[in-house]
Amino acid sequence: MARLRLVLATLGALSFLVLESPALAASATDAAGFVAGFVRQGADIAAAHETLDQAALEPWRRLVADSLDLPAISAFVVGTAWSSASGGERDELVRLIGSQIAALYARRVLADRKAALAITGSQALGPQETLVASRLIKQDGSVESIDWLVRGVAAGGFRIFDIVSDGQSLAAMKRSEYAIVLQRNRGDVTSLIEALRLDRQ
C-alpha cells in the first residue's frame, strides 16, 4: 500500500529521463512495448466486437487475464479481508474482479475508439517495476494522461498492476469501492463475492 501511495504521489512530478543503468533502461523500453501491445490488442477486439454482450466480453476477459497481474491486484483491492479468504474464495475473487475490470476497459476502449494513444516515455522504478506514460488524444482535441504501472521483466513476462488516468488509480478506486461493501458486512469476504456476482458491468 505504501509503495502504491508513493507511486501515485510522484506521478505528476515524474520526468522520463534517460536511465543510467542500461539494464533498467532496456527493461523500461520492453515494458513500454508490452503496454503498446496491450492497447493494440484492445483496439483489435473493439474493431471486431462493437457490442458488449457476454459473448463479446470473452476476448476482453482473456486479454485482461493474460496482461494484468490479477492475483496481486485482487489481494490489494480486497485489502485485509484477503487474508481470511479461503483458496477457493480467492480464486473466485480473482475471476470476478478480472471480469469487472475487463468490462470497464472494454467500455472505455469502445467509447474512445476514435482516440489515439501514444506512449510518451517509461521509467524503471526498480528491477521489476516500471512506470509507462502515455497520452490519449481524443477526437475533440482533449488530452488525457494515462500511466501504467508494470511489473516483471522481459525474460519472465510483464503484467500490468495499475492504470492511472489523470491521476486516478484504478486499483485505489476499486479498493475504496470494495471497502464499503466489506465494512457494511463486517469484513465478510463472501458478501463481496456475492456483490461482484450480481454486478452487471
Instruction: Tell me the DSSP string of 136-181.
Output: EE-TTS-EEEEEEEEEEETTTEEEEEEEEETTEEHHHHHHHHHHHH
> What pLDDT was estimated at residue 154?
75
- Distance (Å) of CA 44 to CA 40, 85, 153: 6, 36, 25
Judge whether residue 181 has pLDDT over 50. yes
Separation of alpha carbons 44 and 48, rounded Å: 6
Place of cell 463481496: 192
Ramachandran class of 167: left when φ > 0, alpha when ψ lies in -120 to 50, beta otherwise: left
- Give per-residue pLDDT as tens, 59-72: 999 999 999 999 99
Residue 126 identity (one-letter amino acid)? G
> What would the mean pLDDT of 156-167 be, rounded to a whole number?
94
How far, in Å, CA of 67 to CA of 138, rounded?
Answer: 24
Cell of residue 152, nine digits: 516483471
Type of residue numbered 151: R
* Placement of cell 494515462 in the chain: 146
pTM above 0.75, yes or no: yes
pLDDT at 61: 96
Q: Is the pLDDT of residue 194 over 80?
A: yes
Which CATH number fits the domain 2-6+21-198, given the four candidates 3.40.50.1820, 3.30.565.10, 3.10.450.710, 3.30.428.10? 3.10.450.710
Lowest mean pLDDT among 10-19, 126-135, 178-187: 10-19
C-alpha cell recorded at residue 39: 492497447
The torsion angles phi and psi of 95, rounded to 5 degrees, stand at -65, -50
pLDDT for 122 equals 93
